[in-house]
Amino acid sequence: MTDKGLFGQFGGSYVPEDLEKVLQVLADEFEKAKQDPTFIQEFKEVLAEFVGRENPLTYARNLSENQGGAKIYLKREDLNHTGAHKINNAIGQILLAKRMGAKRVIAETGAGQHGVATATACAMFGIECIIYMGKHDMKRQALNVFRMELLGAKVVSVDAGQGRLKDAVDAALGDLVENYQNTFYLLGSAVGPHPFPSMVKFFQSVISEESKRQIVEKEGKLPTAVIACTGGGSNAIGAFAHYMEDEAVRLIGVEPAEAPSLTEGVPAVIHGFKCLTLLDEEGNPKPTYSIAAGLDYPGIGPEHSHLKETGRGEYVTVTGQQALEAFKVLSETEGIIPALESAHAVAHAMNVAKELKQEDIIIVNLSGRGDKDVQQVFEMEHGSKE
Ligand SMILES: *Cc1c(COP(=O)(O)O)cnc(C)c1O
């Protein structure tokens, strides 16, 4: 990686000049913050006191024994406050916002999970929070809109364009350019122009910092493979980060077969950065549909694009149907209902485990809990009322 946030040919910052200036200030401030022991200490303290870290690395004994083969461990991001890994990044960026003297935090959200994590962190730090959301997404995610409002955030309906995530991103960027002097844009995944992918990775790396220490304590050795689902790629990059130099550890990202950016995408610039992405005939980001809303993104973080290209990362797809089966298997065998996103990683881990030996270890990053998905799965099984 260079100073400009390049990962091989991917990443970078392809934005208008006025936005570029704002992002440069952010990049400089982030470089200082990550080397400031006081900043790191406060981040660690909030993660401990508010998020509930460190979370366990649970041996999934029943699942492992049923499958045969490798031992499967689960990194329990599902046990974090608000039920997923997204809060790690939201806390880190809010601390940076505070450090930079921001008075308002803005964010965009599609399915609502990043909006809820941002609103939660803003409530905790007493910072004004504005969430941009496409008009259509607001209708589909009415309960998450209400959650954000309960947390004191203002949810702004974006009617422009299709009234979806992309339009919400445009609205949030417009707000940032206009109000950059007092406003911080809190991005939710390891995507977007520099410095966001590096920043999000830094804050999510706590996942593998913990899991590496935990697995060495429990097993006295490193895992054979680390497996995580990829939407934009933030939980996966955090789960991989501290194993990057351990060449023997396989790093496996699992995409939904319905949005396979890495497996079928081509290099292109979307949303201000270059990555492997799915394009339609006109060269625009292709609409995708995954049963897991958090994985529904036509692109992927630049570092994953690079890991794929160099071969350091392996990327595979799992269908919604396979994820749904894994959702049920993990619930029944371990008493843990996973998020549908995480169930993609579980599904692939079950297959990999069978191919490995008993002395092998797999760590699955359980990015979130499934409470949010129970109603959707119910409707898929029993038919929706509508
Ligand atoms: C948002 C989300 C994801 C996907 O986002 P990444 O940035 O790829 O991690 C995965 N799992 C859960 C539970 C999520 O909420």
The pLDDT score that the predictor gives to residue 385 is 57
CA–CA dist 320, 210 (Å, integer): 30
Per-residue pLDDT, averaged over 291-299, amounts to 89
Q: Detail the DSSP E strand segments found in the chain.
A: 6-7, 10-11, 57-59, 71-76, 104-109, 128-134, 154-158, 183-185, 225-229, 250-256, 266-270, 273-277, 313-318, 361-366
What are 229-270's pLDDT values in tens digits?
999 999 999 999 999 999 999 999 999 999 999 999 999 999
Q: Which of 78, 85, 348 is the best mutation target for the ligand 1 pocket, counting ligand atoms within 8 Å of the beta carbon and taking the most?
A: 85
Residue 237 CA, ligand 1 centroid: distance in Å: 11
List the domains of the chain with CATH numbers.
6-45+85-200 (3.40.50.1100), 53-84+205-382 (3.40.50.1100)
Q: Are 10 and 267 in contact (CB under 8 A)?
A: yes
Atom in ligand 1 nearest the alpha carbon of residue 77: 13
Residue 176 CA, ligand 1 centroid: distance in Å: 24
CA–CA dist 378, 386 (Å, integer): 13
The pLDDT score that the predictor gives to residue 386 is 53
Percentage of the chain exceeding pLDDT 70:
98
What are 32-44's pLDDT values in tens digits?
999 999 999 999 9
Residue 294 CA, ligand 1 centroid: distance in Å: 5
**Going by CA atoms, what residue is nearest to atom 2 of ligand 1?**
294
Catalytic residues: 86, 108, 367
Atom in ligand 1 nearest the alpha carbon of residue 190: 7
Q: Which of 295, 348, 365, 374 is the best mutation target for the ligand 1 pocket, counting ligand atoms within 8 Å of the beta carbon and taking the most?
A: 295
**Going by CA atoms, what residue is nearest to atom 13 of ligand 1?**
368
Atom in ligand 1 nearest the alpha carbon of residue 230: 8
| Of 116-125, 273-282, 296-305, highest mean pLDDT | 116-125
Give the three-class secondary structure for 169. Answer: helix
CA–CA dist 208, 22 (Å, integer): 30
CA–CA dist 237, 156 (Å, integer): 30
Judged against a pLDDT cut of 70, whether residue 84 lies above it is answered with yes
Output the DSSP codes for 127-138.
Answer: -EEEEEEEHHHH
Q: Are 181 and 25 in contact (CB under 8 A)?
A: no
Ligand 1: residues within 6 Å at CB? 84, 86, 113, 189, 229-236, 294-295, 339, 341-342, 367-368
Residue 84 CA, ligand 1 centroid: distance in Å: 8
Structure tokens at 171: 């609205």
The structure tokens 């899991």 sit at 211
The residues facing 316 across adjacent strands are 254
CA–CA dist 88, 85 (Å, integer): 6
Structure tokens at 83: 């039920």
Report the chain's mean pLDDT, rounded to a whole number: 95
Judged against a pLDDT cut of 70, whether residue 3 lies above it is answered with no
With vertex at residue 246, the alpha carbon angle to CA 241 and CA 247, rounded to the nearest 5 degrees, is 115
Query: How many other β-carbons are positioned within 10 Å of the β-carbon of residue 282?
Result: 6
Please state, in angstroms and as integers, the Cα–Cα distance from residue 235 to each residue in 137, 176, 183, following that order: 23, 26, 26
Residue 117 CA, ligand 1 centroid: distance in Å: 12
Cα 332 to chain centroid distance, Å, stands at: 26
- Per-residue exposure over 57-70, b if at least 16 CB sit within 10 Å of its own CB, e if not: bbbbeebbeebebb
Atom in ligand 1 nearest the alpha carbon of residue 84: 13
Q: Which of 86, 261, 296, 337 is the best mutation target for the ligand 1 pocket, counting ligand atoms within 8 Å of the beta carbon and taking the most?
A: 86
